[in-house]
Structure 1
Amino acid sequence: MTDQPVCLTLIVPRQLREEVFDYLAEQSDLVSGFTASHAAGHGGEVRLHTAAERVQGHADQAMVKVVLARDDATRLIERLRVSFAGTKLVYWATPVTEFGIID
């Protein structure tokens, strides 16, 4: 079932934050909205770009979550691969068993 919703999570380096936010807003055929929060990246693959990050021992990042249909998530990932090639954006998708708005 490819129309099952998924939560696509993106880990975005601080310096790409606004560019990725703007890009997602432009993808209105796939993305109706998203949630972003601050994140601290740790690990051997994490790039520490500033002296402050090297002292702190973690990278300042944003965590972006988008709930959308699985096929739309696949299309969005393909677009991100083209538009943000070489930026090392990290992503994963998890199934969403329920999604709604409490009115």
Structure 2
Amino acid sequence: MTTFDDRERAFETKFARDEEMMFRITARRNRLVGQWAAEKMGLTPEETDAYAKAVVQADFEEAGDEDVIRKLLGDLTSAGLEIDEAGVRVALEEKTVEARRQLMESQ
């Protein structure tokens, strides 16, 4: 029975590690996409930092990426920029790849 218990523990540990990594990638991605949007809106470095943090916080409103997309799309269109939901989704995908690469390099 210990072999089964050991395997179960190993799977649980791997699952927890994978979930933590996905959380870190998503948070890093949100920060990067916040910086991307702030640059498009022409914000100062201080405003960029605050905006990136606000985008990270926006992700805690509901499960999934829809809350982040709504925030970015609303803020970018309010700033007078021509961008649609597809453009925001493309930026999210690009920043996900970049966030994953950054985290892999830092380990």
TM-score bucket of the superposed structures, by smaller chain? 0.3 to 0.5
TM-score (norm 2): 0.32
Greater relative contact order: 1 or 2 (C-alpha under 8 angstroms, separation 6 or more)? 1
Structure with larger Rg: 2
Return the TM-score normalized by structure 1.
Answer: 0.32
